[in-house]
Amino acid sequence: MLVKWIRCSVVDRHGFERGQRKWAGLLGEPGFRGQSGGWSRTRPDVAHVFAFWENRVFYDSFMARGHDRLAAGQSGMFRDMQVTLFERRFDVKTGFEPHFAEADVVRVAHSRVHEERAEHFVLMQQQVWNPAMAGSPGMLRGVFGEAPGNEFLALSLWKSSAERGKYRAAGAERLAARAGTETDVIALTGDVVELEPSWTV
């Protein structure tokens, strides 16, 4: 599965949200699995969108045919758009499906990793971080993906921001020390995204 992560700074919130609802036109596209997104809790003008495709072939076909027509509705509504595509490596917790009905919050963690440490970083994600997240009340499911250049994305869906806060308070520093994160990672950025149900396709 292909995971597309889009983030941008929005200059016309109302217009952007109106345009976002038009992405319902994705329904029925071959290989399309789901899409949702919302607003950053720390930077209210930043929007995140997460889209899921069966594979790169279906995605590229859509980009060549239908993308520009749907995207036209948000022209001029944002700036500084960043788009990254990740191939799913494995799931966090149970089998990941891009269903968002029960989720209030998405936690996104984006890591750039030293090339010689990439294998160790992935192993620690499986052995340290995944069990910690999977055992947290309120954590629904997640996916871990990789992009070229030793970039990784850990995307997790939570029932509420309060539940996610309990996980964070439960010892992220201890987990990072155990996983050797500081040695593996060049740069780590993250955000907590309040999902907008009207953006879900």
All structural domains of the chain, each given as residue ranges with its CATH number in brackets, are 2-199 (3.30.70.100)
Distance (Å, whole) CA 189 – CA 151: 11
pLDDT at 164 over 60: no
Output the six-digit token pair for 189: 């950025």
When the pLDDT of each residue in the chain is averaged and rounded to a whole number, the result is 92
Output the six-digit token pair for 23: 């992405």
Q: What is the pLDDT of residue 166?
A: 58
Q: What is the pLDDT of residue 97?
A: 93
Look at the block and give the residue holding tokens 């399309």: 32
Burial pattern 114-153, b for ≥16 Cβ within 10 A else e, equals: eeebbeebbebbeebbbebbeebebbbbbbbbbbeebbbb
| pLDDT range class, residue 180, cuts 50, 70, 90 | confident
pLDDT at 169 over 60: no
The phi and psi torsions of 159 (rounded to 5 degrees) equal -65, -35
Q: What is the pLDDT of residue 173?
A: 80
Distance (Å, whole) CA 152 – CA 150: 7
Q: What is the pLDDT of residue 61?
A: 97
| pLDDT range class, residue 176, cuts 50, 70, 90 | confident
pLDDT at 157 over 60: yes
Tell me the one-letter amino acid at 134.
Answer: A
Distance (Å, whole) CA 183 – CA 164: 25
Q: What is the pLDDT of residues 70-86, one digit of tens each?
A: 999 899 999 999 999 99
Q: What is the pLDDT of residues 101-122, one digit of tens each?
A: 999 999 999 999 999 999 999 9
| pLDDT range class, residue 135, cuts 50, 70, 90 | confident
Q: What is the pLDDT of residue 76?
A: 94
